[in-house]
C-alpha cells in the first residue's frame, strides 16, 4: 500500500518528462494520444525475465525499468525474483539508462525510476513472530542469497517494517498524501535552487562530484560519517548514497546544511534486520 501511494506525493512531471514518458509508452504500444500526465507505476510479477525487466527481444523493446522512467518500479516479493533478473537492474540503477545490443543495432533506453521493493524476512513470512516460523537454516540461507550485496548496496533505504499493534491499526492516519506532497514539493524546490546549472535536477540524481560540491556537513556529522565508513558499515557507493539521503532529510526539515541528526537518521535507514523489509532506491 505504501509503495502504491508514492506517485501521489511526487511532484507533477515537467513537460520534458511528460514528452519522454509519452514517447516511451507509445513505442511500447501502451498509449494512444495526448501527453501522459501521471507518473508511471509499474509492478511486474516475480516470474518476469531479465529482458522483460530491463529490455531486449528482437526487435529490442523497452522493459519495465524503462516503462517506469520518471515514475516508480515496484517489485513485490523481491526474494522470489530470479537472481539473474535482479542483478540485471544494477547497471540501470547506477547509470539511469540501459544499452540493448542486438545484431548490428544498439539502442539506449532511459531508466530513471524510483525502485521500491518489499520482501518477507523468510519463506513462510513469520520470522520474529513468536514460534510461528518453521523455516530451517537452509531455507533462510536460500532466501537471503536471492538478494545480492551489490544490488542492496545500490538502494538508498533499507527499512525494517515491524508488525503493527492492534491499536495502531485502529488508530487515525498520522499523515495524508496532501500533506506529504506539500513537504516533498518544498524540498524539491530547495533542491532545484541549489542544483541550478547542474545536470542533476534533484538529490537522487547527484553523482559523487555534485555531492562533493553541494552537500555541506556539520563537523559532528563529518565525524559520524567517517566512523561509519572506517568500521566498514558503508561501502564507497553506500557513503555517497547516505550523503544524498542526509541532504534530502535536511531539505525536508527546511535547512540546507546537513546536521549530525540528519546524518544519523540517514545511516539508520540503511540498516537491515529480521523483520519484514521495504527497500527503496
Taking alpha carbons only, the member of 156, 178, 183 closest to residue 266 is 156
Q: Where do the H-state alpha helices sit in 76-148?
A: 83-87, 90-95, 137-145
pLDDT for residue 97: 92
- The residues that bridge with 73 in the sheet, in sequence order, are 42, 115
Q: Which residues contact 158 (CB under 8 A, 6 or more apart)?
A: 152, 269, 270, 271, 272, 277, 279
pLDDT for residue 43: 96
DSSP string, 166-223: HHHHHSPPS--HHHHHHHHHHHHHHHHHHTTTSS--SGGG--HHHHHHH--B-HHHHH
Interval 50-68 mean pLDDT: 90
Q: Is 261 helix (H, G, I), strand (E, B) or coil?
A: helix
* pLDDT surpassing 70 at residue 155: yes
* pLDDT surpassing 90 at residue 50: yes
Alpha carbon of residue 56 to chain centroid: 23
Domains within the chain, CATH numbers bracketed: 2-172+274-280 (3.40.50), 177-268 (no CATH)
The answer to whether 113 touches 13, Cβ cutoff 8 Å, is no
Task: Give the pLDDT band (50/70/90) at residue 264.
Answer: very high
- What is the tens place of the pLDDT at every residue in 20-46? 999 999 988 887 678 888 999 999 999
Interval 216-223 mean pLDDT: 95
Pick 128 or 131 by higher pLDDT. 131
pLDDT for residue 273: 44
- Give kind and range of the element (H or E) at residue 280: strand 276-280
Pick 136 or 261 by higher pLDDT. 261
Taking alpha carbons only, the member of 239, 240, 236, 181 closest to residue 205 is 240
Pick 126 or 192 by higher pLDDT. 192
pLDDT for residue 165: 86
Interval 198-209 mean pLDDT: 90
Task: Give the pLDDT band (50/70/90) at residue 277.
Answer: very low
* pLDDT surpassing 70 at residue 280: no
* pLDDT surpassing 80 at residue 278: no
pTM above 0.85, yes or no: yes
pLDDT for residue 274: 37
Separation of alpha carbons 264 and 261, rounded Å: 5
Q: Which residues contact 43 (CB under 8 A, 6 or more apart)?
A: 3, 73, 74, 75, 76
Interval 212-229 mean pLDDT: 94
Interval 185-200 mean pLDDT: 91
Amino acid at each position: 500500500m505504501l509503495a502504491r501511494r508514492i506517485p501521489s506525493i511526487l511532484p507533477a512531471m515537467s513537460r520534458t518528462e511528460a514528452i519522454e514518458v509519452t514517447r516511451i509508452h507509445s513505442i511500447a504500444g501502451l498509449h494512444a494520444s495526448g501527453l501522459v500526465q501521471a507518473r508511471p507505476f509499474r509492478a511486474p510479477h516475480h516470474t518476469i525475465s531479465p529482458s522483460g525487466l530491463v529490455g531486449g527481444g528482437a526487435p529490442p523493446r523497452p522493459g519495465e525499468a524503462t516503462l517506469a522512467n520518471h515514475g516508480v518500479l515496484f517489485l513485490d516479493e523481491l526474494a522470489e525474483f530470479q537472481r539473474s533478473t535482479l542483478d540485471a537492474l544494477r547497471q540501470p540503477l547506477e547509470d539511469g539508462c540501459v544499452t540493448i545490443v542486438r545484431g548490428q543495432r544498439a539502442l539506449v533506453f532511459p531508466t530513471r525510476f524510483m525502485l521500491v521493493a518489499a520482501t518477507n524476512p523468510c519463506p513462510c513470512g513469520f520470522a520474529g513472530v513468536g514460534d510461528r516460523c518453521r523455516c530451517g537454516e537452509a531455507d533462510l540461507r536460500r532466501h537471503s542469497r536471492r538478494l545480492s550485496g551489490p544490488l542492496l548496496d545500490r538502494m538508498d533505504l533499507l527499512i525494517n517494517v515491524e508488525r503493527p499493534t492492534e491499536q495502531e491499526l485502529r488508530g487515525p492516519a498520522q499523515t495524508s498524501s496532501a500533506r506529504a506532497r506539500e513537504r516533498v514539493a518544498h524540498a524539491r524546490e530547495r533542491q532545484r535552487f541549489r542544483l541550478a546549472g547542474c545536470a542533476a535536477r534533484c538529490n537522487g540524481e547527484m553523482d559523487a562530484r555534485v555531492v562533493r560540491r553541494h552537500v555541506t556537513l556539520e563537523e559532528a556529522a563529518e565525524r559520524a560519517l567517517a566512523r561509519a565508513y572506517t568500521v566498514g558499515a558503508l561501502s564507497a557507493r553506500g557513503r555517497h548514497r547516505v550523503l544524498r539521503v542526509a541532504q534530502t532529510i535536511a531539505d525536508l526539515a527546511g535547512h540546507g546544511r546537513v546536521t549530525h541528526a540528519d546524518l544519523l537518521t540517514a545511516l539508520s535507514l540503511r540498516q537491515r534486520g529480521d523483520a519484514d523489509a521495504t527497500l527503496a532506491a
